[in-house]
Amino acid sequence: MSISQINTNLQALTAQSSLNSVNSRLADTQLQLSTGLRINRAEDDAAGFSIASKLSSRLEGMDQAMRNIGDAKSVLDIAETGMNSIMDILIDMKSKAVQGSNDTLGDDERGFIADQITALGGEIDELAANTTFQGIDLLDDGAGDVTLTFQVGEGAAETLDVTLTQTNQTTLAIDTGIGALDGTDSTTFNSFISDIDAAIETLAGNFNQIGIDQSKLSIREENLDQAITSNSAARSRIQDADFAKVQSESVKLQILQQTATSALAQANTSPQSVLGFLG
């Protein structure tokens, strides 16, 4: 061994370089094991990192869209519940109108029935006013039908518009008939039966639209669920680590680390031995 080799320990430098490389690779495998990801930063796989990031962005949007659909379903469920209660009242009103149309009743009895129908009309308005979601009036906005736009996908164009029809005495066209009820005249009750039948028909049409919108939301929900599954699988294939493979690589690198450490120690010892011999 020459003096230059003693001053510049090439074996030690080589061993140190090898150890540094092993340590770096081992750190990467340990990071992959701790995160479960093959790609943790752009330098690991620039193209893969870019694709995985885009997929993650899409998935975040899809997850939120799924929650939006849940909110939309809640809105329709609340509206439907309110409409069911109003339908029950209309059916009760018809029963009383049929009763009031019978000439076997006296004026007092018919007057009591008129009062009951009037009170039921007030309940319809109260129900409509109290059917709300997050402060949004669903059945009695006061300014017309309520149109709500729901973001049901991660793309800007993936929206669904739902229109809820105002449902109160006026829009059901029963307010005039209620006001005309006369305890002394059975014909006013008979005429009101037609008003109630028309109101029930109108409300049935509103129920039909609610059902159509609920079906649309269910279809969007199913499609979105499939899209989430597909995109999650694609991201997993690109980004996730093969645990068994990484674990095996980690064990191999730990052995190489021990070997490189021993080689470095031996390389650092050799010049000292030569100097001792020369001394």
* Better-predicted residue by pLDDT, 251 or 92: 92
CA nearest to 82, candidates 143, 130, 142: 130
Write out the two tokens for 51: 């694709």
Segment 193-204 shows an average pLDDT of 97
**261 has pLDDT over 90:** no
Q: What is 164-176 written as a DSSP string?
A: E---STTTTT-HH
Name the DSSP letter for residue 101. T
**202 has pLDDT over 90:** yes
Predicted local distance difference test score (pLDDT) of residue 171: 93
Predicted local distance difference test score (pLDDT) of residue 138: 96
Predicted local distance difference test score (pLDDT) of residue 1: 45
Amino acid at 87: M
Whether the CB-CB separation of 147 and 141 falls below 8 Å is answered with no
Segment 12-16 shows an average pLDDT of 72
CA nearest to 69, candidates 228, 238, 230: 228
Highest mean pLDDT among 15-24, 99-108, 244-253: 99-108
Residue 108 to residue 221: CA distance in whole angstroms: 56
Name the DSSP letter for residue 106. -
Among the ranges given (27-31, 141-145, 151-155, 227-231), the one the predictor scored with the smallest mean pLDDT: 27-31
**267 has pLDDT over 80:** no
- Give the DSSP H or E segment for 267: helix 243-278
Whether the CB-CB separation of 116 and 95 falls below 8 Å is answered with no
Residue 142 to residue 133: CA distance in whole angstroms: 15
pLDDT, the chain, mean: 86
Segment 81-106 shows an average pLDDT of 95
Task: Render pLDDT for 134-168 as a digit per residue (tens, 0 to 9).
Answer: 999 999 877 789 999 999 999 999 999 999 999 99
**277 has pLDDT over 50:** no
Residue 196 to residue 177: CA distance in whole angstroms: 9
Segment 253-269 shows an average pLDDT of 72
Q: What is 180-247 written as a DSSP string?
A: H-BTTBHHHHHHHHHHHHHHHHHHHHHHHHHHHHHHHHHHHHHHHHHHHHHHHHHHHHHHB--HHHHH
Residue 148 to residue 65: CA distance in whole angstroms: 15
Distance of CA 190 to the CA centre of its chain: 50
Task: Render pLDDT for 160-182 as a digit per residue (tens, 0 to 9).
Answer: 999 999 999 999 999 999 999 98
Predicted local distance difference test score (pLDDT) of residue 2: 45
Angle in degrees, 0-180, between the axes of helices 186-239 and 107-130, rounded to the nearest 10: 20
Tokens 């049409």 correspond to 205
Predicted local distance difference test score (pLDDT) of residue 156: 95
Write out the two tokens for 236: 């997993």
Whether the CB-CB separation of 132 and 172 falls below 8 Å is answered with no
**26 has pLDDT over 70:** no
